[in-house]
Every structure is written in structure tokens, then in C-alpha cells.
Amino acid sequence: MATGLSSVHMQVMWNRLISVVEEQALTLLRTAFSTSVREAGDLSAGVFDENGRMMAQAVTGTPGHVNAMAEAVGHFIADIGIDNIFEGDSYITNDPWKGTGHLHDFTFVNPSFRNGKLVGYFACTAHVVDVGGRGFGPDANEVYEEGIYVPIMKFAERGEVDMRLINILRHNVREADQVIGDLYSLSSCNEIGHRRLMEMMDEFKLDNLNGLRDFIFSHSLRATLDQLKDLPPGSYHNQLTADGYDGPVHMKVRLDVSEGQVLADFTGTSGLSAKGINVPLVYTTAYACYALKCTLAPSIPNNHASLEPFKVTAPVNCILNAIHPAPVAIRHVLGQFLPDIVLGALHKMLPDTVPAEGSSALWNVQLGASPIEGSEAAAGEVLRQSQILMFNSGGTGARPRLDGLSATAFPSGVHTMSSEVTEHVGPITIWRKELREGSGGAGAQRGGLGQVIEISANPGHRMYINAMFDRCDNPARGRDGGLSGSAGSVSLDDGTAMQSKGKQWIPDGRRLVLNLPGGGGYGDPLSRDQALVRQDIERGYISEQQAKQDYGYELD
């Protein structure tokens, strides 16, 4: 075990390793073609030991990608075979069960060799705009309908890209240049990670990563177990209802807390859906562990050892453990509710610690635009077909001592795309994007606000949406007396209601209007500081009527 100066030396190298993977992630951000990567940061990056165990992850990225990728590298090693791993290789897959849960995420793994000897791996994941099939939406009945399925295979061998694979992919997706460009970016960012690692190993005169790995894993595990040792043992339960596709989905969790381990068991959760809202266990594990780690060991870096005490189980072919060939395209919708479910159980163990429920699942806007035959484009534009992806977020739940955050992506952590960038990608106009007054649940601490977004196709084009929205029938619940946030809704600008899930055309001349849900409140609304209520009125967060009704505020 490292002690004294050697321990300090190891810590310096650990910090340096984190900077290596952060540069790896930033390389992907700067070179990606799709707005979901370069604008929203829907990606992950990390370095792994020679056995495929994650040593360090980049801060840039999403929990669903990072924690799923932590398991994925082992699958790559097993499927490629250690005797078939060569210097200069690059491996690819979008297998939902060996990657990060759906076909739109491509995971790349590159082996890292030093002086002819394998010392580790770099891995990264990113969401691409299109994989063919029905497009990014919930309407498929099997994974085969959802797009092209690339098993774990070689993208490049000894530095030579497999152009046959590139050709197959190019002819099976709608946005070929964007998708192929992103694949090269993924492989390249792993190469940058490898180069920076070699520079680091030169500087510290390392032949391999074994000593540093052992230091990272031993300290991470010890620190995590130290955080868990004083938890009250027992079982803690919670349940949550989501809108689902054709009917509500009931998700249940039991947290079993014992010495050195916390187990999240999702027995009692609804069975599979006929549509693509199902969640592979790898994604369920990723977000359930994220909630546990954020609450119980938040300051400890994320790696194989710090995740080891957290376990997740779910019955086979319940909606949180979907088995091939179940449709899983929008697994994020239910998957991103998992922190809310787990946090609700943790609240019973650790009161006054976790936030109320939030909007949780991203309101991803996947639009398809196409020319209207015989029409003319607006001045300065050309008629074109496009796939447009735009990430948006509702409000987060209020915290025990602070209001919720408005229009903020939790738990995914991705950014939204700017309206200007989104309009550049395809022939659409975003007419309105503003905070939604009154959408945050009332409480001593108010829930975060959702948004109102209004979009139309440009002249000469028509537009459809692959809707994938939730919290329209089951709003975010408040905690400890706090009220629920406002439910979301999908409609046209003339008030015509639309479905929250599935492919739907926007009638010519009409605009799509999205009302994103707000977060739940925390604590009794009547105990809210009246100065804060007055401030909310002044800022347009709540109306005078809501102030009187929910907070008992008397106007001067």
C-alpha cells in the first residue's frame, strides 16, 4: 500500500489520469457532427485496465452512458477475444444489451499498447441522430424495426478502417454524413486518450497501469465502504407510476441495506411493453447506481471499485429488464425515472436529504422534415429532408433547503441545444422557448419550472414528431407536504391535443406546442418565506392567484 510521498505521487497520477479522459471527452465534443453530442454533451469517456474495469471517467458525460459503459468493455474483450486484439485496433457496437441500452448509442473501445504490450483500454459512447428503421421513437414492436444493429466487431484493425462496414452503415441511415462523421470522432477521441496516456506514462516512468489501478481501486472501495458503514440496515420501499405507452407503468423498488452493500431490487415492476419504452438491465443498473452513489457516496470518484458495493436486480422481462428482441429505442424515458424511485426509498432511510420528484425524463424532440411537392422554399433556403434532434428539460424537484432548478436536465445532466443551432440543422423555426409560469410544485421550497416550446416547419416543408414524452398523466410528486409539479402536455397552437408518444404529423400551417412538466415542491407551502413568494410573482414564476391559493399570500 502506498504511504507518505508515494501516496501523494499516486494521487497526482490519479488526478492526471482524470485530466486525460477529460481531454478524451472534449475531443469528442469538438469533433462530433451531431448536435446531440457537440451541443448537448450526450456522451461518455473513460479509461479501463487490461481486464476491462473502469479506472477513471470524464466529468463530461451522462450517468446512463458512463455507468453502462463501465460494464460494456468486458463484453468487448470477451467477444473480440484477447488473441485477436492488436495495436491500432478500434472496436464498435450499438448492441443495446452490451452497450448502453438502445441502438442510437454507439460505443467504441480502443486497446492501448505500450512497448508492444497491452496496458488498458479507452472507451467512449455517443448518441447519433439516426440509425435507420422507424427512427428515434417508441413505435417499433421489436428491436429489429428500430434500426441497424451492429454487433461487437472491429471498426478498424491495426489502423485500417473496415470500409465495408462504413458502406453498409452509410446506406442504412437517413443522415449518413452526420452518423459516419460521429463514428470517426468516437474512434479518434479514444486515440487522443491513448496518446495522452502514453505521455503521462513517459513522464512518470510507468511500464503499466497496475500499481496505479490498485491504488485507485483500494482507496475508492475503502472510502465508499466507510460512507456506507453507518447506514441503518433494513429494507426501504418506494413505487412510482409513469404514463407508459398504451397504459400506466408501475415501477417498484426495495432497497436492502446491509454491511458493505446496498441492493436495489425492482421486483413487482410492470412487465414488458409492446412498444419501445422497455429498458435493458444495463441501463436500469446505470441510473439506479447513480442515485445511490449521488446520495450515499457523492464525493468519491466514479470507477469500478466505487460502484462495486451497489447492486441492482430486476425480474427477467419486467419493463426494467427487457431481454432481446424487445423494442428499447426510448429506454431513457423510464430509465431516467429510476433516480426518483430510488431517492424516494432513500428518503425513508435518510429524511431531509434527497429532493422531491422532478420532470426527470428528458423531453427529446425528434422531428422529421420533408419538402412539400410543388412548393417553394423561403427566400435564402432550399427544400431538403432532415432529421432534427433537440434535447429539452422540465423542472427538477425542490431540495430540502433550496428551490428546484428550472429547465434543468436531472438525472441525465445533458445540455439543451440552442434554438439557433437547431434551426440550422433542419428547416424549422422555434417561435417560443420560455419558462412555464406556475409549473413548479408549491412548497416551503418550490419545484423547478418547466418550459413552453413552440415549433413549426419552414415554408415549403411539412414536419412530423416522434413523440417520447412522459409526466403528462403522472406529474412529479412533492415531498413532505410539498405539492406536485404541473403535468406536461403536447398540442397544436390551436389547442388540439396530441399524443405524448408515437409518430404524428403536424398539419400544414400549424405549430407544435410543448408544455414541459415542473418539479415537485418540498415542505408545507404555507411555511414558505413570504418574501420568496413575492419574488416569484415579480419574476413571473407564479401568478398572483397561485400565490394566494397555494401559499396563502395576501397581496398589498
Q: Which of 220, 250, 277 is the last residue of a domain?
A: 220
The total of structural domains in the chain comes to 2
The answer to whether 428 and 463 are in contact (CB under 8 A) is yes
- The answer to whether residue 539 sits within a structural domain is yes
Q: Is residue 329 part of a domain?
A: no
Q: Residue 546 in 3-state DSSP?
A: helix
Model confidence at 245: pLDDT above 90: yes
What whole-number distance in Å separates Cα of residue 391 and Cα of residue 387? 13
Average pLDDT over all residues of the chain:
96
Residue 487 has pLDDT above 50, yes or no: yes
- The answer to whether position 368 is within a domain reads yes
For residue 394, the Cα-to-chain-centroid distance in whole angstroms is 14
Range of 451's domain? 356-556
CB neighbours of 419 closer than 8 A, spacing ≥ 6?
A: 430, 433
CA distance 201 to 341: 43
pTM for the structure as a whole: 0.96
461-468 and 428-435 as β-strands: parallel, antiparallel, unpaired? Answer: unpaired
Q: Please give the Cα distance from 533 to 540 (Å, whole number).
A: 11
Q: What is the mean pLDDT of residues 62-89?
A: 95
Of 48, 49, 46, the closest CA to residue 28 belongs to 46
- CA distance to 69, 88, 106, 124, 201, per residue, from 84 (Å): 21, 12, 21, 20, 25
Please tell me the distance from the alpha carbon of residue 268 to that of residue 150, in angstroms, as a whole number: 33
Beta strands in 18-116, from DSSP E residues, in sequence order: 43-48, 54-57, 90-93, 105-114
In a domain, 294, yes or no: no
H/E stretch holding 20: helix 4-31
Final residue of a structural domain among 186, 220, 254: 220
Whether residue 556 has pLDDT greater than 80:
no
Residue 3 pLDDT exceeds 50? no
Nine-digit cell string for 245: 405507452
Helix (H, G, I), strand (E, B) or coil at 135: coil
Looking at 220, 255, 290, the residue that finishes a domain is 220
| Residue 261 lies inside a defined structural domain of this protein | no
| Whole-number pLDDT of residue 1 | 44
Please count the other Cβ atoms lying within 10 Å of the Cβ belonging to residue 497.
10
Closest residue by Cα to residue 71 from 341, 281, 309: 281
CA distances from 169 to 98, 149, 166, 482 (A): 19, 10, 5, 50
Q: Work out the angle between the directed axes of helices 544-551 and 530-538 (0-180°, nearest 10).
A: 160
Q: Is 311 contained in some domain?
A: no
Does the structure show a pLDDT above 60 at 337?
yes
Q: Is residue 201 part of a domain?
A: yes
pLDDT of residue 376: 86
- Determine how β-strand 261-265 pairs with β-strand 310-313: parallel
User: Treating both helix axes as pointing N-terminal to C-terminal, what angle do 281-296 and 63-80 enclose, rounded to 10 degrees?
Assistant: 130
Query: Is residue 290 in a domain?
Result: no
Q: How confident is the model at residue 289 (pLDDT cuts 50, 70, 90)?
A: very high
The answer to whether 295 and 348 are in contact (CB under 8 A) is no
Residues 6 or more apart in contact with residue 254 via CB below 8 angstroms: 235, 236, 237, 264, 265, 267, 345
Q: Are residues 203 and 59 in the same domain?
A: yes
State percent of the chain over pLDDT 90.
94
- Over 247-282, what HEC string results? CCEEEEEEEEEECCEEEEECCCCCECCCCCCCCCHH
